Amino acid sequence: MSAANTDTSPRIAARFAACAAADRAALVGYLTAFDPDRDGSLERIFAACEAGLDVLELGVPFSDPAADGPTIQAAMTRALDAGASLEGTLEIAAAVRARFDLPIVLFGYANPLIRRMHRDGGLIDALVGAGVDGLLVVDLPPEHCAVLRDPARAAGLDWIGLCAPTSTEGRIASVLAVTTGFVYAVSLTGVTGAKLDVDDPELHAQLAALRARAGVPVAVGFGVRTGEQVKALARHADGVVVGSALVEAGQAGPEALAAKVRELAAGLGR
């Protein structure tokens, strides 16, 4: 990783710096708010944080999660059936912030966030008030992100960009130009939870090239499911993102989720 940007969330920058100082990658874990319901979601998120998450990606339930695979789509359906909303998701973020100091990245789709922004302009204040540190809007490309990114950055929130294996040099440059905090390196084409080859030399080369130019930590995700996969990827990235495997474990309860986090965290060392 080259020298990190200085205009970044203190929590995100500090957490990645602490992990680097400990010679390990950061574990970035995704969980869907309100899955299976509000209280059950909080129990699972608390358990995951206590078990060793470094960064929480908190998913905002949405009715058309096109970038997500069947596991997270099902989680979003359960959450919406349980009454999930953006406001409710921010209440969960605030509850996590009251108990933990780890960075919280709100992971969502553009539609509900932009609708909230246009309704009364209070979205960014609500994010800051809930203790959110960054935004990752999966379907908002860099050329269209100013509507959310600019006010978020003005309030001190990080904007997490995504680079895919199919991204051109020009696209990567555009993503990095608007990214702070860390960049999410998508490990494969397709949707979350797909099959991943962690020994693919082309993936390793892509990660090395991205780390050399990014200026922020690089976290790799999509398809990561096991501690062995985390161990293989930790040598090639500053962070490893796990989503579908955590959501699946959470269906068996907080204890099963905590055990999965511990398994994954055991592979972070280099």
Q: CB within 8 A of 57, min separation 6: which ones? A: 28, 29, 30, 31, 105, 107, 136, 241, 243
- Taking the alpha carbons of 119, 184, 181, 42 in that order, is the dihedral positive or negative? positive
Q: Is 174 inside any structural domain?
A: yes
138 domain residue, yes or no:
yes
pLDDT at 6 over 80: no
Q: Say if residue 188's pLDDT is above 80.
A: no
Any domain includes 73: yes
Sheet holding 26-32, edge to edge: 158-159, 134-137, 104-108, 55-59, 26-32, 239-242, 218-221, 183-186, 161-163
Is position 4 within any domain?
Answer: no
pLDDT digits 0-9 by tens, 103-134: 999 999 999 999 999 998 899 999 999 999 99
pLDDT band at 5 (very low <50, low <70, confident <90, very high): very low
Q: Is the pLDDT of residue 67 over 60?
A: yes
Q: What six digits make up the tokens of 267?
A: 């592979």
8 pLDDT tier (thresholds 50, 70, 90)? low
| Residues designated catalytic | 57, 68
> Does a structural domain hold residue 1?
no
User: Between 27 and 270, whose confidence is greater?
Assistant: 27
User: Mean pLDDT of all residues in the chain?
Assistant: 94
In a domain, 270, yes or no: no
Count of the separate structural domains present in the chain:
1
* Residue 3 resides in a domain: no
Name which residue leads in pLDDT, 225 or 165: 225
Q: Show the domain range for 29.
A: 10-265
pLDDT of 192 = 55
Residue 255 lies in a domain: yes
Read off the CATH number of the domain in which 214 is found: 3.20.20.70
Mean pLDDT for the stretch of residues 50-78? 95
What's this model's pTM, rounded to 2 decimal places? 0.94
| Average pLDDT estimate for 26-37 | 99
* pLDDT above 70 coverage of the chain, percent: 94
Cα angle, residue 76 at apex, residues 174 and 81 outer, rounded to 5°: 145
Distance CA 265, CA 22 (A): 13
195-224 tens-digit pLDDT: 688 999 999 999 999 999 999 999 999 999
